[in-house]
Amino acid sequence: MAEPSRQDAIPMPLMKRLENDDEAIGRAYRRYLDYYLGRYPGCDAVYQYEALAYTLRERIMADWRRTWIEHKKPGTRRAYYLSLEYLIGRSLGNHLLNMELEDPVREAMSGLALDLEEIESAEPDAGLGNGGLGRLAACFLDSCATMSLPVLGYGMRYEYGMFRQRIESGCQVEDPDHWLLDVHPWEIERPEYKQTIRFGGRTEPGRDRKGRFTVHWVDTEDVLAVPYDIPVTGYRNEVVNTLRLWAASATDAFNLKEFNAGDYADSVAAKNQAENITMVLYPNDASENGKELRLRQQYFLTSASLQDVFRQWGERSLDDFAAANVFQLNDTHPSIAVAELMRILLDDKRLDWDAAWKITTACMAYTNHTLLPEALERWPVRLFERLLPRPLEIIYEINRRFLTEVRSRWPGDVARVQRMSLIEEGPEPQVRMAWLAIVGSFSVNGVAALHSRLLAEGLFRDFHDMWPSRFNNKTNGVTPRRWLALANPDLARLISETIGDGWQRDLSRLAELKRYSQPGHEAFKSRWRDIRLANKTRLAELVREATGVVFDPRALLEVQVKRIHEYKRQLLNVLHVIHLYDRIHRDGPDTVAPRAVLFGGKAAPGYARAKEIIKLINNVAAVINEDPLVNGRLAVAFLPDYGVSKMMRICPAADLSVQISTAGKEASGTGNMKFMINGAITIGTYDGANIEILEAVGEAHFFRFGLHAEEVEAMRSDYRPRDFIEADAELARVLHLLECDHFSASEPGIFHGITDSLRSAHDPWMTLADFRAYADAQRRVEALWHDRDAWTRSSILNTACSGGFSADRTIAEYNDEIWRLEPIEL
């Protein structure tokens, strides 16, 4: 589908920028409130937020168009980030920061007797993601815009985002997040760019007029994909990139059928099925295999996005396509893109196989985010056949040619061919999506050094043997605009006053803070402490409002917030909390450092064990917080509904960042980076990006403990948790407290599933193997905490050494080694 010619004939005119002084902003705000929204000044804060968002949006438009014109210039190479998830959070504050409008807007609002912070908090979080992978996509878009790179994000406009979490009697309860119920002021619907996505039907081989083999995909059930554009502002560079989210809508065929009284109900049901595709985000952050709707979502996003790129490409020669377009696949979720690009080139563009394959493998790049074999995506061939018969045929042909190559390289190595086949044989044959992504891509990367090495040596070894140069590492990063400038404005101000501005675009400049960690900078250190104390005080208020638990802001604040997963080992943290409680009872409350322990995170609704862990945390918290002997010396809270905005309050306050996954299991982690940038010290295993954090800040300022990835694997076949319990009376006491129902007096036995798994020789996470090392590392934490100056020094050094964990550094590497885009010049 070519763009309507009228749009080519009339060039897009440049727009003039709107005035940005406080008076113009105040006027615009009132106009939106009164004349557009029909609300009066004393209305609910959510309408104030909407009016202000529109006021901002119209101030984004001129730059957005200028950026778009640059992107569309012939010869501009562009990258497309394909992701089923974008965990954006709130946008208002981010745009204000990027466009340098904080002061005039605050001024304008206070002129109307309104408080900007209050208005900002009325914005709902856009929670279109589960966790790390979705938030990474959002950080990457921020960095791409800030670095003026022509990158377009493609994603899904879910009607319901990540569920809201409530805690009832200690248990997680899920509520739907109908975030689009209120209008979403940042988006612009573009129905003129809708695409048709086909499902089902069958394929019909034939010959075209020139006698060439053709395939028609017919009798399909079609669904429309309607794009909604969201602006992505760069930091003070006038660049506005686009995040394009697709919404499913029934075709006219469905709507026409509705008038056919005979099967009215059936056709409305069919319409619903079509529109279901973008109804809800799947809330599992490890794959839930085999769900038909999920495969529909994946193909819907991928096909709509690829077709959109070809719509923009128009009738230009495909010889130049690969030089001008590159697709980054955020995990295997959009990896059907390999087959879909082939389908478009073969069936729609009529290229021959070799030409199509050459283009495809020059355009696709794949990022892996997990080493857990159970999280690798596989789809039953039978489901594929029914839903996507034409893409499946193409996958078969890719596989046939690929296996021919494997056989000629390793003659007679049948086992290797079986391992590498895109189709896993068995009673229910499956398509291996990661294999498809690897075979179809010119670049395959992991997200931290250890993870990338383990991929090459383990999971992807056969492919690494075949194409070693395809594999590379891109250690994750986070955007310092949101995670320092916005989340921690007081610390950001102190940093700017000390080393100047510039760190916002070049986080390595934070290294200039190192000298302020040395003796002789007492004034700086005392301000550093004051700011952190104020942040802790604010967080303590939030925790108290949400949970009733009282945190002493002067206590050591230890935080573990992330999805609840056995491999992340929230249980190891709980065991240690129980151990602290036990120490208080044995040795008296004065023998432990005052501590506040904060947990947060969502469990996938179907992950029973993860939900039990939440219940355990809450029960342990209840007993400890009520114990008169403990008397507040130790306080434990589970903060409900952890998400982006909560993290913006949490990471500036944390003293100790808890990153204790079983070594070799956490691909990278990115929360660890947000804490470090804000001056927390990490207690962590030798896993994921923890290793690089440790190398950046130095052993002396990081509490490292536990088995290495290799040691974990070596011990696995002969793991004897009993030995660890017998050798460690303190661990035995902790288990005893759990097993005698000390934390479950009114529900005896509810934690036996957990304790049995900890005691099992088959516990894949080997939690007890690391208990002693963890408790000892926590003793070192206490010792450092008692030396206030030494702690402050380590805290400053963590921030000072965090420059490498900016997403700008990550994106620079993606661009230098994979995308090779030129920054646009406005």
| Residue partners of 21: CB distance under 8 A and separation at least 6 | 104
636-664 as b/e: b if 16+ CB within 10 A: bbbbbbbbbbbbbbbbbbbbbbbbbbbbb
CB 221, CB 200: distance < 8 Å: yes
Among 328, 517, 670, 778, binds ligand 26Q (CB under 6 A): 670
271 in catalytic set:
no
**Piece in contact with ligand 26Q (CB under 6 A), picked from 131-139, 142-150, 190-198, 616-624:** 131-139
Instruction: State which of residues 60, 136, 248, 712 lies at the interface with ligand 26Q (CB under 6 A).
Output: 136
> Contact with ligand 26Q (CB under 6 A): which of 66, 164, 194, 294?
294
What kind and span of H or E run contains 337?
Answer: helix 337-343
Whether residue 563 lies in the annotated active site:
yes
Q: Which of residues 264-293 bind ligand 26Q (CB under 6 A)?
A: 282, 284-288
90, 95, 257, 369: the active-site residue: 369
According to CB under 6 A, which one of 22, 377, 393, 763 is a site residue for ligand 26Q? 377
Q: What is the CA 392 to chain-centroid distance, rounded?
A: 29
Q: Hey, which residues between 514 and 573 contact ligand 26Q (CB under 6 A)?
A: none
Distance of closest approach, residue 440 Cβ to ligand 26Q, in angstroms: 19
- Active-site residue, selected from the candidate residues 602, 674, 793, 809: 674
Single out the catalytic residue among 135, 470, 527, 568.
568
Neighbours of 33 (CB within 10 A): 22
Q: Is 536 a catalytic residue?
A: no
Q: Residue 133 or residue 147: which is nearer to ligand 26Q going by CB?
A: 133
By beta-carbon proximity to ligand 26Q, the closer residue of 47 and 282 is 282
Task: Give the shortest CB-633-to-ligand 26Q separation in angstroms.
Answer: 34
568 among known catalytic residues = yes
Please name the residues in contact with 706: beta carbons below 8 A apart, sequence gap of 6 or more.
Answer: 660, 663, 685, 686, 769, 770, 773, 774
Q: Among this protein's residues, is 562 annotated catalytic?
A: yes
Helix 729-739 to helix 752-759 angle (10° resolution) is 150
Length of the chain: 826
| Nearest approach, Cβ of residue 385 and ligand 26Q (Å) | 19
User: What is the rounded distance in angstroms from the CA atom of residue 174 to the CA atom of residue 163?
Assistant: 6
Which amino acid is present at 73?
Answer: K
The amino acid occupying position 185 is P
- Regarding beta strands 423-424 and 378-380, do their DSSP bridges make them parallel or antiparallel, or are they unpaired? unpaired
Closest CB 508 distance from ligand 26Q, rounded Å: 21
Question: Residue 672: which of 635, 634, 703 has the closest Cα?
Answer: 703
Nearest residue to ligand 26Q, by Cβ distance, number only: 132
Q: Are 426 and 453 in contact, with CB atoms under 8 Å apart? A: no
Decide: 307 and 345 in contact? Cβ < 8 Å: no
Is 376:432 a contact under the CB 8 Å cutoff?
yes
- Residue 671 CB, nearest approach to ligand 26Q (Å): 8
- Using the contact rule CB under 6 A, the part of the chain among 299-307, 496-504, 592-600, 662-670 near ligand 26Q is 662-670
Minimum separation from the CB atom of position 655 to ligand 26Q (A): 22
In the complex, what is the shortest distance from the CB of residue 372 to ligand 26Q, in angstroms, rounded to a whole number? 9
Residue placing its CB nearer to ligand 26Q in the complex, 165 or 287: 287
Applying the rule CB under 6 A, the residues between 414 and 473 that interact with ligand 26Q are 447
> According to the binding rule CB under 6 A, does residue 683 interact with ligand 26Q?
no
Q: Which residue in the list 233, 670, 682, 792 is annotated as catalytic?
A: 670
Size of the site for ligand 26Q (CB under 6 A): 23
H or E, element range at 374: none
Q: Give, in degrees to the nearest 5, the angle at Cα 671 between 665 and 676.
A: 115
130 binds ligand 26Q (CB under 6 A): yes
What CA–CA distances, in Å, run from 595 to 300, 416, 510, 540, 561? 49, 53, 29, 12, 16
Q: Give catalytic status of residue 72 as yes or no.
A: no
Residue number with CB closer to ligand 26Q (447 or 653): 447
What stretches of 457-536 adopt beta strand conformation (E)? 471-473
Query: Least distance (Å) from ligand 26Q to the CB of residue 370?
Result: 6
- Judged by DSSP in three states, 181 sits in helix
DSSP H helical ranges for 410-551: 414-420, 433-439, 449-457, 461-466, 480, 489-499, 522-547
Using the rule CB under 6 A, is 667 a contact of ligand 26Q?
yes
> What residues line the site for ligand 26Q (CB under 6 A)?
130-133, 136, 282, 284-288, 294, 369-370, 377, 447, 476, 666-670, 688
Active site residues: 369, 562-563, 568, 670, 674
